[in-house]
């Protein structure tokens, strides 16, 4: 039998993952071996004659290193380059990993060892990071059932097994629904209003799908957003809207209603077994927000500030649609279309004017230059290193001393094997072992319009913001300097993790940044100063409405995870009752937010979606500091790197933030930036 590359030392430069050697059949035996190795390491911990921080807490931190590495590779590829066989394997592996996790967290003998060390915490002379690791380890065991009676522990095991399968199935259903739908256009007249490059991509998609005489639009976000923004065919926008917003809500084999209710029910049961009022109470105990009351107060405060502005915006938009097209009632499938037209009329700017200045390669170069000016990083393409798909690029990251900092992978285009959205992840975490700093392998994954034979990939301004956002997360991972992997990089409180990503978006509105890279892809002319001014002027266009939209997601998330009877509710009615406060457009029957709300039912944002707005308070406040001193001020950048990016989860985030900023953030900075302060 051939040797399994997942179980062999990774011998490529910087221990890069051998993607070119890994086959699907390698995963299951690799997982089985890695779990066996981790259990052996844990058995050694339990047999110590005395329990110390080093032989118990630090040993446990390192016990499943191989398993973490293999898991990162498999589950990242299952998100970004999956197949039906891989999805089937994930349904086998996820419960296996849930069982292993429960075996560890519910091991009474192991907990006794941890408890013995924790009891000595005041006499151990630990540094701050060691104290955090000890506290986090002890709490994670207690919070996940270590003190429960055997029957309750068994129930937790059963729940975790089922949840692992359900969240995977939820995501697979959303992906299947995304891939199954296509809008086939046969008449050129039905393309009215669509930009040339959007039409070119649709023609390319049709050719790939064996219909060269047609144009095909899909539910992949670049295709969907472009169609909804520019198509003059209102009936077709309606059709696309219904297809997108009914994913997982069609009474077919991919329906997610039962899965949503079951996930909510199981999370609530689990929280109650562990002694918490709700899943949200359980989650928020380990967040900056602390409890559901604080989150709901925060969301309500923003709602009060934003709603008057949002109502004025929607009244203006409805009047505009009535004026130019005699639209009697503005519908949800009209919003993007008329908002884009009104924006152009008010500010003499739109995405089509901006896109020529945001060629993908130039934006990548731009974000690299920002990283160089702020943190003295350089990025060198490594075409010799294998990647998991031909479209993925690998880069070696170095500092000003020419020392290796990280590997960086970039994956930018949609495909049927990849879920929608954009995210940052890692194939290898950062940690220190015997004073050797093991550096991370970081990846960002997006879904941008690909190039065509006629034009390169040109990003909308929002897509450029997305790239900067995910790259902000990547910097958090790449600049990690922690001792322990579980506290390193993005391993921070969930409502703090969006600060590094969201703050980087601010640079894209600044002339000093745009002048670095925003050049017309044909003429190489720099983006005009007046266009940059229009970008800034239009930044708050419809900001009240967009705030309400984000609040509706946060409020729905909190409702699912705080209401004790939510799992019994009719999903559609429950949704409507929650989001009616934020709704400014007519309700559309046969659509659902929850059934494709992957953030909370597949990803890690359950009882945490509010954190996007929470982190906006932090990033608005932090960026004001940069603006006061200069957006490329080296001293401020060094402080942000040291206290935020490199510190990871070594201390409580508010301590780290105040060390950087000198004060706690206030909501006023966000309201100022959003133009909502006077409301």
- Which residue numbers are catalytic? 470
Sign for the pseudo-dihedral over CA of 86, 87, 93, 94: positive
Q: Which residues contact 272 (CB under 8 A, 6 or more apart)?
A: none
| Residues in Cβ contact with 198 at an 8 Å cutoff, skipping those fewer than 6 apart | 223, 226, 227, 230, 449
CA atoms within 13 A on the CB side of 440: 31
**How far is 546 from 544, CA to CA, in rounded Å?**
6
By DSSP bridging, strand 393-398 and strand 215-218 are unpaired
One DSSP character per residue, 247-292 reads TT-SSSTT--HHHHHHHHHHHHHHHHHTT-SSHHHHHHTTSTT-SH
Instruction: Give the burial string for 575-591 (b: 16+ CB within 10 Å, else e).
Output: beebbeebebbeeeeeb
| Six-digit token string for 130 | 């060691």
**In what helix (H) or strand (E) does residue 318 lie, and over which residues does it extend?**
helix 292-325
Decide if 35 contacts 402 (C-beta within 8 A): no
Tokens encoding 15 = 């221990």
What is the three-state SS of 517-565? CCECCCCCCECCHHHHHHHHHCCCCCHHHHHHHHHHHHHHHHHHHHCCC
CA dist list (Å): 144 to 55, 147, 314, 330: 22, 9, 46, 48
C-alpha span between 81 and 112 (Å, rounded): 42
Contact 490, 615 (CB under 8 A): no
Distance CA(302)–CA(605), nearest Å, equals: 20
Cβ pair 354, 458 in contact under 8 A: no
Which of 92, 95, 114, 96 shows the shortest CA–CA distance to 105? 114
Find, among 346, 409, 343, 422, the residue nearest to 382 by Cα. Answer: 409
Closest CA to 256 of 362, 178, 337: 178
Cβ neighbours for 29, distance < 8 A, ≥ 6 positions apart: 4, 7
- Number of CB atoms found within 10 A of residue 401's CB: 7
Q: Which residue has the tokens 């309201």?
A: 671
| Contact assessment for residue 483 and residue 644, using Cβ atoms and an 8 Å cutoff | no
For residue 418, give the nearest of 459, 448, 439, 395 by alpha carbon: 448
Cα 668–Cα 422–Cα 179 angle in degrees, nearest 5? 135
């Amino acid at each position: 039998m051939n040797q399994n590359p997942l179980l062999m030392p990774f011998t490529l430069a910087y221990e890069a993952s051998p993607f070119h050697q890994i086959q699907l059949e390698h995963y299951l035996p690799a997982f089985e071996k890695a779990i066996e190795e981790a259990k052996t390491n844990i058995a050694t911990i339990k047999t110590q004659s005395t329990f110390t921080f080093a032989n118990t807490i630090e040993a446990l931190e390192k016990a499943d290193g191989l398993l973490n590495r293999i898991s990162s590779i498999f589950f990242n590829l299952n998100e970004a380059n999956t197949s039906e066989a891989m999805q089937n394997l994930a349904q086998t592996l996820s419960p296996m990993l849930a069982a292993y996790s429960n075996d560890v967290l519910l091991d009474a003998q192991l907990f006794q060892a941890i408890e013995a060390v924790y009891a000595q915490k005041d006499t151990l002379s630990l540094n701050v990071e060691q104290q955090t690791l000890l506290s986090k380890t002890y709490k994670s065991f207690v919070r996940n059932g270590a003190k429960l009676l055997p029957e309750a522990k068994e129930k937790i095991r059963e729940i975790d097994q089922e949840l692992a399968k359900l969240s995977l199935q939820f995501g697979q259903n959303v992906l299947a629904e995304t891939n199954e739908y296509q809008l086939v256009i046969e008449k050129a007249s039905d393309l009215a209003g669509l930009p040339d490059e959007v039409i070119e991509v649709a023609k390319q998609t049709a050719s790939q799908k064996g219909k060269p005489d047609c144009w095909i639009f899909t539910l992949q976000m670049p295709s969907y957003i472009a169609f909804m923004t520019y198509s003059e065919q209102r009936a077709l926008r309606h059709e696309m809207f219904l297809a997108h917003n009914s994913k997982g809500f069609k009474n077919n084999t991919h329906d997610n209603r039962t899965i949503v209710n079951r996930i909510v029910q199981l999370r609530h049961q689990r929280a109650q077994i562990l002694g918490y009022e709700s899943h949200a109470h359980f989650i928020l105990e380990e967040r900056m927000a602390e409890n559901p009351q604080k989150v709901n107060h925060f969301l309500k405060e923003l709602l009060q500030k934003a709603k008057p502005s949002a109502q004025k915006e929607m009244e203006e938009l409805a009047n505009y649609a009535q004026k130019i097209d005699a639209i009697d009632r503005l519908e949800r499938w009209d919003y993007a279309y008329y908002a884009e037209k009104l924006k152009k009329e008010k500010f003499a700017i739109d995405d089509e004017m901006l896109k020529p200045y945001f060629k993908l390669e130039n934006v990548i170069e731009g974000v690299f230059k920002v990283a160089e000016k702020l943190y003295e990083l350089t990025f060198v393409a490594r075409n010799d290193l294998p990647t998991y798909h031909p479209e993925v690029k690998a880069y070696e990251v170095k500092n000003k001393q020419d020392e290796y900092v990280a590997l960086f992978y970039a994956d930018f285009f949609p495909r049927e094997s990849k879920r929608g959205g954009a995210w940052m992840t890692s194939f290898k975490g950062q940690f220190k072992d015997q004073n050797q700093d093991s550096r991370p392998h970081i990846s960002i994954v997006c879904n941008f319009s690909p190039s065509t034979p006629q034009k390169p990939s040109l990003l909308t301004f929002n897509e450029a913001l997305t790239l900067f956002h995910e790259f902000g997360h990547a910097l958090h991972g790449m600049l990690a300097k922690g001792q322990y992997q579980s506290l390193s990089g993005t391993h921070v409180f969930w409502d703090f993790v969006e600060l590094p990503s969201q703050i980087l978006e601010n640079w894209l509105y600044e002339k000093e940044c745009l002048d670095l890279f925003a050049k017309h892809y044909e003429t190489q002319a720099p983006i005009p100063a007046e266009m940059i001014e229009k970008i800034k002027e239009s930044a708050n266009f419809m900001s009240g409405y967009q705030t309400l939209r984000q609040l509706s997601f946060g409020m729905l998330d909190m409702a699912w995870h705080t209401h004790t009877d939510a799992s019994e509710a009719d999903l559609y009615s429950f949704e409507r009752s929650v989001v009616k406060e934020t709704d400014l457009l007519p309700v559309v029957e046969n659509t659902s937010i929850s059934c494709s709300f992957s953030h909370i039912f597949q990803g890690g944002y359950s009882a945490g979606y509010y954190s996007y707005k929470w982190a906006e308070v932090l990033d608005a406040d932090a960026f004001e500091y940069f603006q006061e001193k200069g957006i490329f001020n080296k001293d401020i950048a060094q402080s942000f790197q040291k206290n935020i990016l490199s510190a990871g989860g070594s201390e409580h985030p508010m301590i780290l933030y105040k060390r950087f900023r000198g004060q706690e953030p206030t909501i006023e900075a966000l309201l100022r930036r959003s133009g909502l302060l006077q409301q």
